[in-house]
Amino acid sequence: MSYHLGLIGYPIKHSLSPWIHQQFLNQTGLKGTYDLFEFQPDQDFSNDLDQLKEKNIHGFNVTVPYKEKIIHHLDALDHNAKAMGAVNTVYNRNGEWIGYNTDGIGYVRSLLNKFPQLEREKEKRILLIGAGGAARGIYYALMIFGFSSIDIANRTLQSARNIAHLRLNHVDTNVISLQKAETDLYEYDIIIQTTSVGMKPNIDHTIIHLSKVKTGCIVSDIVYQPIKTKFLTEAEKLGASIHFGHTMLLYQAQAASEIWTFKKAKLNNLDQKLERKWRGE
């Protein structure tokens, strides 16, 4: 059998997903293709999906601007996608389209891969900075993986409160301002930056000052343009261990390919390879 997989979104011409998924297929010894379906936002989305259904695709990823819009066209959602209100992976289960969301899971897998000791340290105090879609996925996945102390800092407190409404019973969450995060930074063991601040062309910006960061703290940034943001550079200078959050892309792809093929691809040195591709080498 040969898997027929792909990605819907716009614009996606430069997506690295076909390359990533081809590596996974090769590595797990499966045959298949991963195609890009660039649906123009001004086209009839239902019609585009009908055509995709006719192709009898096994599964596909969903990216902007369709992560929410796709929901009404699916037969069921898993608990992650339900909690997120967004879908990044669809599996065709005997003609039924089931929606999943592997974004947050991908992030936490990448974090645990770099810092495996965290598997035994789920009580570590986490500060999540930002309250957009990415923060929502990461907050939920951190809870599902068992972490129990996750504060959320954001410029707009109401957005952070909306995320905190997802809180599960085993978790403590305070919603705080960016100013409070900055002054109380030494209280945290893991700091996760999920906003777009620091992204090209504004590479000299950081969301908060890090001067109060605890030595040995883990500092992570999901911005990947540039790969090493000013936030990470400063954190490293102050004695923190840094994590390139963009590796979440590989792990969310890994989780998606597991849903489609029931096989877990090993990542080996794919993150270094991906980084070289990013740099255009």
Applying CB under 6 A, the residues found at the interface with ligand ATR are 130-135, 154-156, 159, 194-197, 207
CA separation for the pair 161, 38 (Å, rounded): 35
State in angstroms the smallest separation of the CB of 129 from ligand ATR: 8
Q: Which is nearer to ligand ATR, 57 or 129 (CB)?
A: 129
Strand order across the beta sheet in which 76-77 lies: 31-38, 2-9, 59-62, 89-93, 96-100, 76-77
Nearest to 230 by CA among 201, 211, 205, 209: 205
State in angstroms the smallest separation of the CB of 67 from ligand ATR: 9
Paired tokens of 189: 């063991």
Q: Which helix (H) or strand (E) holds 154?
A: none
Paired tokens of 87: 């879908």
Write the Ramachandran bin of 103: left for phi over 0, alpha for psi from -120 to 50, otherwise beta.
alpha
Q: Which is nearer to ligand ATR, 98 or 175 (CB)?
A: 175
* Max CA distance (Å), the chain: 57
Is the alpha carbon torsion for 265, 267, 273, 279 positive or negative? Answer: positive
Active site residue 67: yes
Q: Which residue is nearest to ligand ATR (CB)?
A: 132
Write down the catalytic residue from 67, 180, 200, 214: 67
State in angstroms the smallest separation of the CB of 17 from ligand ATR: 17
State in angstroms the smallest separation of the CB of 167 from ligand ATR: 18
Q: Which residues are tagged catalytic?
A: 67
